[in-house]
Structure 1
Amino acid sequence: MKINPPIDRRTLLGGSLFAAGSALLPPVALAQNGSDGLNAIARARNLRFGSAFAWSPPGADAGSLGNPEYAALVKRDCGVLVPENELKWQRTRPSAATFDFARMDAMMAQAKAAGMPVRGHTLLWHYTRWFPEWLKSHDFGSKPAAEAERLLDQHIRTVAGRYGPAIYSYDVVNEAVDPDTGGLRETVLSTAMGGAEPVLDHAFATARSAAPWAELVYNDYMSWEAGNEKHRSGVLRLLEGFRKRGTPVDTLGVQSHIGLFAPTKSVAAVVAELTPAWRAFLNEVTGMGYRLSITEFDVRDRGLPADIALRDQGVADFAGAYLDLMLSYPQLTDVLVWGMSDKYSWLRGFEPRPDGQITRGCPYDTDFKAKPLRAAIAKSLAGAPIRQPAPERAA
């Protein structure tokens, strides 16, 4: 197995921020942002605010800490970071026998320099569409289950061993539920191991062994809008199964790519319609003993008018109501947006507006100016009930 040379663990893990056994919520003083930054507001409630970030060469026009303008937003408002793409198998595992951590190593070094812990996204994206090509055609040999387990073990232990407690939380499994059926997605790994459940259970068990200090998260995009009923039911069945089988899962990661998809005269009316079913879902999740995390928040604005003032207010109102509901649960301690600026939002490419206007689902616009959405986030964080500090987990 070929892996690019490791970075100096003393450099990466140095200091109390990344010490083994450190609390899931590190001290407020370690977040380098102003008193009115979003993370500072969150920390007053024992919450934490953060964002996805990307890799780029220094000075590039990108949503990365290599971009000084973008880095200024992140350092002002964030207390935790998550790699947008650079820890996924497509980027770190170019073949079954090789790993490439060059970009992720650079991002970890940037995060440490900024005084911010990191979430790991993701150890297993159990969705064939996003598997690397080599995995789709991999020869699992005469003992396919053993080979699948070997690949999973090797990957999870390699990542966890490289970064240690510098990554305090992992999306161990991402998007394993088919939203159209509510069943589990089938992949070459599930075929090799005789079903999806053995794959997911093995991933979590390996992650607990390899990273005993870390929060272990199942992450998915079931949402509160109409049409997500089968997806939510499937996630509940999966979470129930984890508990029955003793699978070590701590938290449900609620991606929270929320959206208004059809024209509406009243955001408040939409919120009132969506709230009961969504609260019932969250009640079931927390009733099973799971924590909650908002892992990838942004707002899809396809159903709002092109007029920027009207659209921004609609986005802010919708987001504020959603965050108020989510933050009413004391089991929720992390709120991460999927990017700070519309300039680099994934929505521009994956879900463009029909009218061709730039989507406005991030806290800052393309000129890095704060929008009503940022104010709505700040208000929801400031109004949240104070949490108990998260428990420490020994390494």
Structure 2
Amino acid sequence: MTNKLYKLFFTLIAVIAFFNCNNNTKKEDSTTLKESFKNDFLIGTALSNLQINQTDSQLASLLKKEFNAITPENDMKWEQIHPQKDTFYFDVADKYVELGEKYNMHIVGHTLVWHSQLAPWMQNVKDSITLANNIENHINTIVKRYKGRIETWDVVNEALNEDGSFRTSNFHEVMGDSFIAHAFKLAAAADPDAKLVYNDYNLWKPEKRAGVVKLVKNLQAQGIKIDGVGMQAHWSLEGPSIKDIENSIIAYSNLGVKVSFTELDVTVLPNPWDLDGAAVEQSYEQFEGDPKMNPYPVKLTDSGQTQLAKRYEDIFNLFLKHKDKIDRVTFWGVNDGQTWLNNWPINGRTNHPLLFDRNFEPKKAYNSVLALKK
């Protein structure tokens, strides 16, 4: 073989290798959560303070690769962002929004009005006019600051009891249920283009579902903008049933609003006291240190991985069935090391509720979800 033929041969090999590499890269890039479901709904995750500050390059890489929507875990809640009447703390919130813009993500603001994690100065306001004015100042200041940048707001969070009645809170005691209409009106005026959501847990329950339907219809009857219902999805391997979740998706969609799954995780740990819900104030100190309550202190067993994978497969099958009604699915955490369920409702446990383990490696559940799109 002549030198020219040798050169031509090796040039062809190099060209083939180049195109194979590019094709493989494209294939790998498309095999991610956000790419697999890009025509169905957004795939989001919640970010902690440390993650917003981008101190972990491994996490930043996974975030950019797998997700196209973000929610702040705590840093936009009242006690963090508005700790004193005349003091707003925007440092972390600004970084959070800048991070979302950097990666071209759908940015969620969480949450404007919530009875929990409320600044102490707000907890004992007993005059309705003062309380309404404080809410107005809070919402106007925050929403207008991020107008056109934060695309969805969880306007009111967890205002209902399990039976669908209004939760006892200082907001409700002082203003009645008008505080909800007040908050949504203010948010809509502060940023008319933002999507406005009512967010709560256990919205698969028929009684609580009825309460949400009534709440949404009441706002709509007053001509007040509401774009969606956020179903927190703090679920377990056993429940809620797919049918109960489906019934709620349909009921909320029939109101003319979109459904979001805003805080998805699946606990793999036992709850023998029939724990139900996600109220942060619940605690069960008597179970701390009980090995029966912490069966996977190091890692999830193979059988546990299989159970979790099947549960996520069933959940996402349902989501895909109703993708026309759903605009976002947000996991409450990037990986198992971050999850709030490690310490709730029992301190010191090791939970494994997400699709990525503590080393940022995809679990069997991740593969079961992606397989639905292949």
TM class by shorter chain equals: 0.7 to 0.9
Structure 2 residue corresponding to 1:221, chosen from 201, 217, 237: 201
Give runs of aligned pairs for residues 179-328 of structure 1, distance below 5 A: 179=162, 181-193=163-175, 195-196=176-177, 198-224=178-204, 228-260=205-237, 274-303=241-270, 306=296, 308-328=301-321
- 3-state SS of 1:350 partner: coil
Structure 1 position 366, deviation (Å): 0.8
Q: Percent identity?
A: 26
Partner of 1:16: none
Partner of 2:155: 172
Partner of 1:41: 36
Check the 8 A contact 1:91/1:100 in 2, yes or no.
yes
Structure 1 position 146, deviation (Å): 2.2
- 3-state SS of 2:360 partner: coil
Structure 1 position 352, deviation (Å): 4.6
Inter-CA distance 373–184: structure 2 relative to 1 (3 Å threshold): same
CA distance in 1 between partners of 2:229 and 2:203 (Å): 12
CA distance in 1 between partners of 2:43 and 2:36 (Å): 9
Inter-CA distance 68–297: structure 2 relative to 1 (3 Å threshold): same
CA distance in 1 between partners of 2:94 and 2:341 (Å): 26
- 3-state SS of 2:343 partner: helix
Q: Which amino acid aligns with 1:370?
A: P
Provide structure 1 residue ranges, at least 5 long, that are not aligned to the other structure: 1-32, 57-61, 262-269, 384-395
Structure 2 residue corresponding to 1:106, chosen from 95, 98, 104: 95
Q: Which amino acid aligns with 1:187?
A: S
Check the 8 A contact 2:69/2:106 in 1, yes or no.
yes
Check the 8 A contact 2:249/2:325 in 1, yes or no.
no
Provide structure 2 residue ranges, at least 5 long, that are not aligned to the other structure: 1-27, 272-294
CA distance in 2 between partners of 1:258 and 1:223 (Å): 11
Check the 8 A contact 1:176/1:220 in 2, yes or no.
yes
Bigger-Rg structure (1/2): 2
Inter-CA distance 303–349: structure 2 relative to 1 (3 Å threshold): closer
CA distance in 1 between partners of 2:52 and 2:303 (Å): 26
CA distance in 2 between partners of 1:235 and 1:314 (Å): 31
Structure 1 position 256, deviation (Å): 0.9
CA RMSD of aligned residues (A): 2.3
Partner of 1:146: 129
Structure 1 position 190, deviation (Å): 2.4
Check the 8 A contact 2:52/2:96 in 1, yes or no.
no
Partner of 1:386: none
Asked which structure has the greater RCO (Cα within 8 Å, sep 6+), the reply is 1
Check the 8 A contact 2:77/2:118 in 1, yes or no.
no
Check the 8 A contact 1:182/1:230 in 2, yes or no.
yes
**Residue 347 (structure 2) pairs with residue 364 (structure 1):** no
